[in-house]
Amino acid sequence: MPPAQRETGNCVTKMSYQLSLLVYALPFLLIFWAYLRHRRKTQYINVSTLRESEEAGMTEPPSLHPLIDPTKCVGCAACVNACPEMYAHRVLGIIRGKAELISPTDCIGHGACFEACPVGAITLVFGTERRGVEIPHVKPNFETNVPGVFIAGELGGMGLIRNAIEQGRQAVESMRKLPRSNDPAQLDLLIVGAGPAGFSASLAAMEMGLRCVTVEQEVLGGTVAHFPRGKLVMTAPAKLPIVGKFQFRETTKERLIEFFTEVERDTGLKINYRERVEAIERDGDGFVVRTTANSYRARQVLLAIGRRGTPRKLEVPGEELPKVAYRLIDPEQYAGQKVLVVGGGDSALEAAWSIAEVPGSSVLLSYRSGAFTRAKQKNRERVRAAQEAGRLRVELKSQVAAIAPDHVRLVQEDREFEVPNDSVIINAGGILPNDFLRSIGIEVETKYGTA
């Protein structure tokens, strides 16, 4: 073949090769370009979310949350994808190739991010350097520093319903290796509390054939039963002993309590309601548990009580009036009334906006700080919407000075004013049952961003 024809053939072959390369490479280039564009957009949203959290002062996680080591994080987003809350809130996000907690107050302690991280960059902790959280000393098997006394659920820092249910079951299962009582007058186990943790633990004890009694000072559901009517309860798949796996992604507190009631009836589980524990004392190889109705001897005790304890009072004149309450059950009962809600957490904001939706009601929300730093974004948005619609009045940096039968007196920085009032709801949190725990000998420690 002449050199000219050989050169022409080589050129054609080269061009054909380059064309084929372009045809095959173009889709990959387009995909890569789309990926970079999506990544840039996602990072912009993550940075904006983080900035909004910081500007609103919403930087303190309320419960168990991830502490991410940037030196170990590889930015794979496994934690972001694993978080069950991500479909409703942007809790975690990737910023400059590293995972960050971008909406701290929306983190409710699932712990799925910890399990999903392939490089061990995440530690689950309580509290932060600025805000400590008091947590009882509990071992991995849920036993406290007092041998034979166990803690599960909200009291141990696990407020999430799914986690509380799992802990209640696991706590009782951890007792399998412990010796049972040979004394027919002594119970194997006494469970205090019939919230999600105590309910699950009671079913586990029944399944294991333990001689067990469960006491509850109020009603089935514990803290959940006192949520406002119609409140959405965020949960996740969980396993109840005897019943098996049940799945609620988003449901109301009424539906969850109804489900628990059906399980209680169908299994024949017995719970002693309206029976409050007054003292727990060591008795040989077990304990004597004294309640308002009985005295029990038990080999082991499981505390599955809430963290709210006794409602925190304002200690102001008039707080003893019958129009003062410390939680909201049914917004409809305040129809046509002038209501003052005190507090800045989720309970206060939920009470304020839900009552504001009741026809004829007039609501004033008072909070001592300058921003709702402890409330979830959804509640802040609903309060803002009610405020803009003229259904709700918000007075930040204000405190209640006195409560009278027909009005309340507030102090706000350098001014004092009175507001007509029919009812007062105080959501100032609760006094943790630390004195009760210490009377048993249980150690309580304050955690500042530690496991």
Complete domains list, the chain, with CATH: 3-125 (3.30.70.20), 133-308+433-447 (3.50.50.60), 311-430 (3.50.50.60)
The HSE-up count of residue 154 (CA atoms within 13 Å, CB side) is 22
What is the average pLDDT score of the chain? 86
User: Range with the lowest mean pLDDT among 2-11, 107-116, 122-131, 255-264?
Assistant: 2-11
Lookup: tokens for 53: 């959290």
Res. 292: pLDDT tops 90: yes
Res. 22: pLDDT tops 80: no
**Angle separating helix axes 196-208 and 253-267, nearest 10 degrees:** 20
Which residues make Cβ contacts (< 8 Å) with residue 406, sequence separation at least 6?
420, 421, 422
Phi/psi zone of residue 108: left (φ > 0), alpha (ψ -120 to 50 degrees), beta? alpha
Q: Name the residue type at position 29.
A: L
Q: What is the pLDDT of residue 2?
A: 56
Res. 206: pLDDT tops 90: yes
Give kind and range of the element (H or E) at residue 366. Answer: strand 362-367
Return the sign of the alpha-carbon dihedral for residues 106, 111, 117, 121.
positive
Q: What is the pLDDT of residue 23?
A: 66
Q: What is the mean pLDDT of residues 431-443?
A: 86
Q: What is the pTM of this model?
A: 0.70
- Report how far residue 18's alpha carbon sits from residue 20's, in angstroms, rounded to the nearest whole number: 5
Q: What is the pLDDT of residue 159?
A: 65
Highest mean pLDDT among 19-23, 56-60, 68-72, 172-176: 68-72
- Report how far residue 373's alpha carbon sits from residue 381's, in angstroms, rounded to the nearest whole number: 13
Tell me the β-bridge partners of 302: 150, 191
- Report how far residue 407's alpha carbon sits from residue 58's, in angstroms, rounded to the nearest whole number: 32
The SS3 call for residue 32 is: helix
